[in-house]
Homo-oligomer: A and B are copies of this chain.
Amino acid sequence: MKKIVIIGAGFGGLNAAKILCKNKKLNITIIDKKNHHLFQPLLYQVATAGLNESDIAYPIRSIFRNKKNVTVYKETVIDFDFNTKTVITDSNKHSYDYLIIACGAVENYFGKDKWAKYAPTLKNLNHAQQLRNKILNAFEMAEKTKDDNEKRKYLTFVVIGGGPTGVELAGAIGEMTRFTLAKDFRNIDPRLSRIILIEAADKILATFDDKLINKAVRNLESLGVQVWTKSMVTDIDEKGVTIGNERLESATIIWAAGIKANPLSEKLPGNKDKMGRIIVNKDLSIENYPDVFVVGDLAHFEQNGKILPGIAPVAMQQGKFVAKLILAELKGKKRTQFKYFDKGQMATIGRSKAIAEIKNLKLSGFIAWITWILVHIMYLTGFKNRIFVMLQWAWSYLTLKKGARLIIDD
Contact = CB atoms under 8 A, between A and B. Distances in A.
A61 interface: yes
Contact of A35 (B59, B183, B405): B405
Contacts of A52: 52-55, 404
Given A52-B53, A144-B75, A408-B126, A62 B391 contact: no
B401 A384 contact: yes
A191 interface: no
Given A136-B35, A144-B92, A384-B401, A406 B53 contact: yes
B74 A140 contact: yes
Contacts of A36: 405-407
Interface in A130-180: 136-137, 140, 143-145
Contact of A125 (B61, B126, B140, B406): B406
A410 interface: yes
Number of copies: 2
A407 B186 CA distance: 37
A83 interface: no
Nearest to A54: B404
Interface string A60-85: 01100110100111110000000000
Given A73-B144, A136-B35, A125 B408 contact: yes
A62 B180 CA distance: 9
Given A62-B184, A91-B145, A92-B144, A408 B53 contact: yes
A18 interface: no
A63 B377 CA distance: 30
A29 to B, nearest CB: 10
A34 B407 contact: yes
Contacts of A399: 384
Contact of A185 (B57, B61, B403): B61
B405 A184 contact: no
Contacts of A137: 74
A212 B334 CA distance: 69
A340 interface: no
30 contacts: A34-B407, A35-B136, A35-B405, A35-B406, A36-B405, A52-B52, A52-B53, A52-B54, A52-B55, A53-B404, A53-B406, A54-B403, A54-B404, A57-B406, A59-B184, A59-B406, A61-B184, A62-B184, A62-B401, A68-B186, A71-B187, A74-B407, A91-B144, A91-B145, A126-B410, A384-B395, A384-B399, A388-B388, A388-B403, A391-B391
